[in-house]
Amino acid sequence: MFLFPGDIGGSVEEELITSGASLKADVLKIPHHGSLTSSTLPFLRAVSPKLAVLSGGGVMAGLPARQTMERYRMLSIPTVRTDSQGPITVCSRAGRLTYHIAQ
């Protein structure tokens, strides 16, 4: 399962959590390019991803926020980043998750 939350911030993350919807996902596209107001601890715990993908990030001033990326590290969620690693392909087949970073 993949979750692509777009540019949501903490208030929308909270709404999603309180809605009761299942947010569990194997792969999370890091919300709002890793802004300080996204990727709250309750949201990350609810999603509990096996991999998080940051799109953009360092090409935008102040993104990703250091504190945001620290939350991923604190929860031991592996992250990959298009800004520093290039294009990333993620596949899920028969319950097995793989990713490839183009060089």
Handedness of CA 45, 46, 49, 54 (dihedral sign): negative
Percent residues over pLDDT 90 in the chain = 83
More confident residue, 93 or 59: 93
For the segment 18-32, the average pLDDT, to the nearest whole number, is 96
For the segment 2-30, the average pLDDT, to the nearest whole number, is 96
Contact in structure between 53 and 29 (CB atoms under 8 Å): yes
Say yes or no to pLDDT of 57 above 70: no
pTM, rounded to two decimals: 0.91
pLDDT at position 60, please? 74
